Amino acid sequence: MRDRGILFILPLLAFVAAFIIVPICGAFWNSAFQDIGYLQTRFVGLGNYRQALSDPAFRQSLKFTIIFIAVSVPLELALGLAFALILDLDLPFRGALRACVLLPWAIPTAISARVWELIYGYGYGLANALWTGLGCGGPVNWLGTPWRAFGSLVAAEAWKTTPFVTIILLAGLSAIPRDLYSQAKVDRANSLQIFWRITLPLLRPAMLVALLFRTIDALRVFDVIYVLTHGGPGGSTTSLSLYAYKYFLNGDFGYGSAISVALFLVAFAFSLAYVRLAGYCRALA
């Protein structure tokens, strides 16, 4: 059992290096060039980044991405917590219920986004059927204005990703010893107090994990936007991923790489910050 570790881990390292690390480095490299399909490739140093900083479309997509995270992640956490608390109860058909909750997570985002597209569809979609059916007014173009499109995206995204949060928090809940609840009841805490003073604090590590994974995931949001709004209307819902993608699609690899590197750096900073935060919490506990 000696000295053989390297041999067993080599395939993994090779794959990760070849298809994750090298491409990242490649993106860094490419971002230093003006590299557009039909033009001569030219070294520009930080020129692409400078261009991005002064590019209003880039700032718009940065702003969108940040607001998208700020709105959708807390919403998902709140919904996920509610679901987890329900699933933690001793309900009949718990297994079936859990399978239902998992379904949105398991279905390809592109496909569920197609369903949302239909739901939001003008005139005949489910959303408008409910809207008019409930007497709220005439049919609405749910993807037509920047704010409506934003709200529709957040709803679709929250539907898709709440299950993940639920499962993580459910695991956190089931790790809380039941004796603590009994002890709290003996100490005459009411159920609201139990929730605030016991459940929530003990759930904090799981919340943090869910927050970390969801934030990093929301940072790179692409599929749902690509299908639902394609970044519109007027570029108002273009996420950073989609923005970079559009440049790649047009053969502008230099600028696209610069944006994707910027996104990578933000994601990396987030993950480092969270890892530090997690360590800090553990040190407190």
Partner 1 sequence: MMASFCLFPWLYMLLVSLNDRPDFLGTQGSIGLSGGHYLAVLTERSLHFLDYLRNSAIVALSSAALGTVIAALAAFAVTRLDLPGKAAVLFFVLAASMFPQISLTGYLFRLMTRLGWINTYQGLLFPYVAWTLPLSLWLLVSCFSQIPKELDKAALVDGCTSWQVLWRVLLPVARPGIFAAFLLSFIAAFNEFLFALMLTTDHGARTVPVGIALFQGLHGEMPWGDIMAASIVATAPIAAIVALFQRHIVAGLTGGAVKG
Q: Which CB atom, from 79 or from 189, has the smaller least distance to partner 1?
A: 79
Sorted by sequence, the CB contacts under 8 Å of residue 161 that are 6+ apart come out as: 72, 76, 104, 105, 214, 217, 218
Closer of 89 and 186 to partner 1 (Cβ): 89
Distance of closest approach, residue 147 Cβ to partner 1, in angstroms: 22
Q: How far is the CB of 42 from partner 1 (least distance, A)?
A: 17
Give me the least distance between CB of 189 and partner 1, in Å please. Answer: 26
Residue 4 or 178: the one with the smaller Cβ distance to partner 1 is: 4
Tell me whether residue 22 or residue 70 sits nearer to partner 1 (CB atom): 22
Least distance (Å) between residue 69 CB and partner 1: 13
Bridge partner residues of 43 (DSSP) = 33
Of 272, 229, 250, which is closest to residue 61 (Cα–Cα)?
Answer: 229
3-state SS, the chain, equals CCCCHHHHHHHHHHHHHHHHHHHHHHHHHHCCEECECCCCCEECCCHHHHHHHCCHHHHHHHHHHHHHHHHHHHHHHHHHHHHHHHHHCCCCCHHHHHHHHHHHHHCCHHHHHHHHHHHCCCCCCHHHHHHHHCCCCCCCCCCCCHHHHHHHHHHHHHHHHHHHHHHHHHHHHHCCCHHHHHHHHHCCCCHHHHHHHHHHHHHHHHHHHHHHHHHHHHHCCCHHHHHHCCCCCCCCCCCHHHHHHHHHHCCEHHHHHHHHHHHHHHHHHHHHHHHHHHHHHHHHC
User: Is the Cβ of residue 16 or residue 67 nearer to partner 1 in the bound state?
Assistant: 16
By beta-carbon proximity to partner 1, the closer residue of 149 and 219 is: 219
Shortest reach from residue 186's CB to partner 1, in Å: 29
Q: Is the Cβ of residue 149 or residue 246 nearer to partner 1 in the bound state?
A: 246
Block residue for tokens 């969108």? 64
**Nearest approach, Cβ of 61 to partner 1 (angstroms)?**
12
Matching residue, tokens 């998902």: 76
Q: How far is the CB of 45 from partner 1 (least distance, A)?
A: 18
d(CA 35, CA 99): 48
Whose Cβ is closer to partner 1: residue 72's or residue 112's? 112
Q: How far is the CB of 63 from partner 1 (least distance, A)?
A: 17
